[in-house]
Amino acid sequence: MLNKNNEGKELLVPLTSPMHVPGKLHNVEHVLIDVGTGYYVKNENEDDKDFFKRKTDFFTKQTEKMQPALQEKHAMKQALMEMMSQKIQ
């Protein structure tokens, strides 16, 4: 959470997807948000909370949608592993 108590704390700053560098949280009033394809938006803290809430809700819904398909794939994998095991013996 971005608040005055966290100012000055160390964190990892993403430069690219696999590469992060150490940094310190300097200004908790304004942050840069990566909105995709290399675009960043400077926002104030209250706007950020709403943005991240929407983003979190979106990912939660997507995860819930994927869960049944993942369970089905896992069951298919287990059945396939059992069939392969029986053929080997």
Average pLDDT of the segment spanning 36-54: 79
For all residues of the chain together, what is the average pLDDT? 87
Structural domains in the chain (count): 1
* pLDDT over 90 (residue 66): yes
pTM over 0.75: no
Per-residue model confidence (pLDDT) at position 21: 96
- Which comes out higher in pLDDT, residue 58 or 7? 58
Domain hosting residue 25, numbered range:
4-88
Helix (H, G, I), strand (E, B) or coil at 74: helix
